Every structure is written in structure tokens, then in C-alpha cells.
Amino acid sequence: MEKKNRSGAVIFSPYVKGEAVKKVVSMKREDVLFDLRESKLKGRGGAGFPTATKWTLVAAAASTEKYIVCNADEGEPGTFKDRVLLLEYPELVFDGMVIAGYVIGAKLGIVYLRGEYEYMLKSLEDYLETMRKENLLGKDIAGKTGFDFDIIIRLGSGAYVCGEETALIESLEGNRGEARNRPPYPVNTGFMGKPTTVNNVETFAAVSHIVIKGGAWYCNHGTDKSTGSKLFSVSGDCEKPGVYELPWGTKISELLELVGAKNTKAVQVGGASGFCIPKTQFDRALGYEDAATGGSIMIFNESRNMLHVLKNFMEFFVEESCGQCTPCRIGNTKLLEGVEMIEKSEFTFGYINKLKELGKTMQVASKCGLGQSSPNSFISILENFKEEIFNSGGSHGK
């Protein structure tokens, strides 16, 4: 696992394997949680839930058995930053999991690894073995009597919904990957019915740095409500696609400049389940205050047909809906049919407006985040690119 020459203010800043683990065992749990609260770190999996709050809830839950789960399902179209972290910076991710185990009082951490990443399984397991040899995993970690913790890796099988934390837990338990009703939440009733924290790969990586450098240092990066930096997976029409670490608050126009994007007409922020932003809004800032994202940035230049882009997203959601609840199962099919009607110029504006209303109903009535977010592209692309889509009569472009 070789590091590329990456640089960044937080995640890609220097870090020595095991240093946060060695430091944390001399700290009180409350002090670690204090640093995390001070950092205002929000989960990097997309929903942006404060990490300190989640960990405090699991730490406080009354149970002798608790679990740490690292969500490495990375199923959102256009995201590949967790792959880079696991391959090039496993020390950050695994040390972050050990820290979580210490703070929460768990004995086992489980990495739920995207099925398509099976090729990295062996190297990750070898890496865990070196951690065991160096007393960074196993019994009495880093010399701390009674602090026992280990990490295992389990593979997913390619279902997008299994990235949703409750479906992921079902899958880990050997069941069909379907979202659970919430509440109860995993912090109380998670893996095997026990208190569990599920966090994104990048969240654990950020924690390792925060333990070493402190919450106040972390807040020096980013904005007031979006502290720290973010890894962005940049793909599409640009000269330099790849993974970039940028402070929250970076404008979309600045990112486009950095990656060598020319003649850009649209940027899809947050993957297929995110929002499509038109050229007139490229001065918007990436962050929780404005354009929030788990990290996927897809760039479309003037040659792209936005109806085709939308069709591609809706086909994905029809395929990936688990079918448990009606708004998502039927709703996504109806939205895709609407796109096909526009394509064939066999639509009325009245019907398309009804579909947009259906999309809004899906956002509130679907059981899990998949159906709650799948209409975002439908609504934002039809709204922001209506002239192109409706004036062209849906003509086929690239």
C-alpha cells in the first residue's frame, strides 16, 4: 500500500502510524469526547451527524457489549475517496476505529467493505496483522491494561442500500440488506441488538488527527458550521479528476479551476442522490451551510445532455430500491417513466409537475435515505435545466 504524493491541511497532513492510539490510552474518555465536541466534526458519510454526539450516546448506553462499525461501502455514484484512504492511509482509519473502541468501550470493530473492493482485502488484513504484532490491536493495547480491541473485515455484495447504516447492520448479521425502522437507532440497538456506532471511513481518519492536534486546531480549518477539511472525489469532464482535500467553504468555481474543468455547465454535488448545480450558481460554497456533500463531485461540460444524465441516475435508483416501501419502489419507477416520456416528447407539463410533487412526497414518506434523496436529481435537473430539456424536445446528445 503505497502513498501517492498527496497533500492537504488535515487528512493528508503528516501522521505517524499508531501515534493517536498511544496518546489516547493515557487520556480519559471524557477528554477525548471533549476534543471531538470542540472540533465540531460531523460524520463524513453524507448525513453530517455530529460524531461527538453519536459516540457519547453509545458510550453512555447501558450494555457490556458494544460495536464499532466502519462504513466502507462507498456506494454513492462518483465517490472513491474511501478507497484512497483505505489503500494509502489505513493507519488513519484503523487508529480512528481503535480510538472509538477506547472511548465507547467496545471490544470489536467491523469494517463493512464494499464488495467491489475485495481486491484490497488481503492487504488490509495483512495490515491489521502488523497492528496486532505492534500491540496496536489485541490485548492491553499500547500497554493499557484491560484495553482489548480487535478489527475484522466483512465484505458487502454490491447493494447500494447496504451503505445505509441499518441495512448495513442487517447485512452484517447475515440478513437481507434492508433498512430497519428508526427508532430505535443503532446507538442503542445496532449490531446484534447492541449499542453500535456506524461511521464513515473518512470520519475515523479525521478523529486520528484530532486526537493528536486537538479540536481547536481542527476548527482552524473550514468554516464555523463546517469545520475541518473534506475529501472530494472529482470525476467527469475535467483535466485532473481524482481525490482532493479542500477546506469546507471552497467555492464550486474554485474547485473547477483547480481540477482544470472547462466549459462546465453542471456540477452534481453529492452523487446521484445529491443536487445538480447550474453554471449560474457556481459561486456557491461546499459545506453544510450551502452545498453539502459526502464528497462526490461530478462535472458535466456543455456537450452533455442533462436528460441523459438524469435518466442514468433514475435507472440506478429503480435498480437499487430495495422495494420495502411503496413511495420508493413505485415512485422511482414513475420518475423514470417521466424521464422517458420527456425523451419521446410524449408528456404534458401538468403531468411532469405532478411527478415533481410525487418526488417531494417521496422525500418525506420513504422509509430510508435512499427514497428520501433519490428525487433530488429529478427535481433539481428538471428545474435548473428546463430550457435545455424541454426546448430540445429531449433530443439525444452525448
Ligand X SMILES: Cc1cc2nc3c(=O)[nH]c(=O)nc-3n(C[C@H](O)[C@H](O)[C@H](O)COP(=O)(O)O)c2cc1C
Q: Do 368 and 167 meet the contact criterion of CB atoms below 8 Å apart?
A: yes
Q: Which of 92, 106, 368, 381 is close enough to bind ligand X by CB under 6 A?
A: 368
- Our CB check for ligand SF4 shows the closer of 268 and 324 to be 324
Q: Do 163 and 74 meet the contact criterion of CB atoms below 8 Å apart?
A: yes
- Kindly indicate which of the ranges 94-102, 108-116, 119-127, 323-331 contains the residues binding ligand SF4, using the contact rule CB under 6 A: 323-331
Task: Walk across the sheet containing 67-72 and list its strands.
Answer: 150-155, 108-113, 67-72, 196-200
Q: Long-range contacts for 137-143 (Cβ within 8 Å, ≥24 apart)?
A: 137/94, 137/98, 141/21, 141/25, 141/98, 141/102, 142/18, 142/21, 142/22, 142/25, 143/25
Does 110 participate in binding ligand X (rule CB under 6 A)? no
Tell me the backbone φ, ψ of residue 384, rounded to 5 degrees. Answer: -85, -15
DSSP state of 189: S
Tell me the backbone φ, ψ of residue 227, rounded to 5 degrees. Answer: -80, 160
- Our CB check for ligand X shows the closer of 137 and 207 to be 207
Residues sharing a CB contact under 8 Å with residue 269, sequence separation 6 or more, in sequence order: 252, 275, 276, 277, 286, 291, 292, 293, 296, 297
Q: Do 225 and 234 meet the contact criterion of CB atoms below 8 Å apart?
A: no
Residue 229 β-bridge partners: 247
Q: For residue 378, what is the enclosing H or E element?
A: helix 375-384
Distance set, CA 85 to CA 3, 51, 252 (Å): 10, 19, 23
Q: Which of 35, 73, 91, 170 is close enough to bind ligand X by CB under 6 A?
A: 73
- Kindly indicate which of the ranges 46-54, 78-86, 212-220, 319-327 contains the residues binding ligand SF4, using the contact rule CB under 6 A: 319-327
Does 321 participate in binding ligand SF4 (rule CB under 6 A)? yes
Binding mask 157-186 for ligand SF4 (x = CB under 6 A): ----x-----------------x-------
Does 36 participate in binding ligand X (rule CB under 6 A)? no
Residue 321, contacted partner among ligand SF4, ligand X, none, CB below 5-8 A by kind: ligand SF4
Residue 366, contacted partner among ligand SF4, ligand X, none, CB below 5-8 A by kind: ligand SF4
Give me the least distance between CB of 168 and ligand X, in Å please: 7
Beta strands in 262-382 (DSSP E): 264-269, 275-278, 296-301
- Kindly indicate which of the ranges 42-50, 140-148, 300-308, 324-332 contains the residues binding ligand X, using the contact rule CB under 6 A: 42-50
Residue 196 β-bridge partners: 67
Residue 331, contacted partner among ligand X, ligand SF4, none, CB below 5-8 A by kind: none
How open is the CA angle 286-289-293, to the nearest 5 degrees?
Answer: 45
Does 165 participate in binding ligand X (rule CB under 6 A)? yes
Give me the least distance between CB of 354 and ligand SF4, in Å please: 20
- Our CB check for ligand SF4 shows the closer of 109 and 163 to be 163
Residue 375, contacted partner among ligand X, ligand SF4, none, CB below 5-8 A by kind: none
Give me the least distance between CB of 362 and ligand X, in Å please: 13
What residues between 327 and 386 interact with ligand SF4 by CB under 6 A?
A: 328-329, 366-368, 370-371
Give me the least distance between CB of 123 and ligand X, in Å please: 20
Does 111 participate in binding ligand SF4 (rule CB under 6 A)? no
Does 290 participate in binding ligand X (rule CB under 6 A)? no
- Specify the pairing of strand 150-155 against strand 108-113: parallel
Q: Do 45 and 295 meet the contact criterion of CB atoms below 8 Å apart?
A: no
Residue 217, contacted partner among ligand SF4, ligand X, none, CB below 5-8 A by kind: none
Does 324 participate in binding ligand SF4 (rule CB under 6 A)? yes
User: How many residues does this entry show for the chain?
Assistant: 398
- Specify the pairing of strand 242-247 against strand 229-236: antiparallel
- Our CB check for ligand SF4 shows the closer of 36 and 161 to be 161
Residue 45, contacted partner among ligand SF4, ligand X, none, CB below 5-8 A by kind: ligand X
Applying CB under 6 A, the residues found at the interface with ligand X are 43-47, 49, 71, 73-76, 160-161, 163-165, 198-200, 203, 368-370
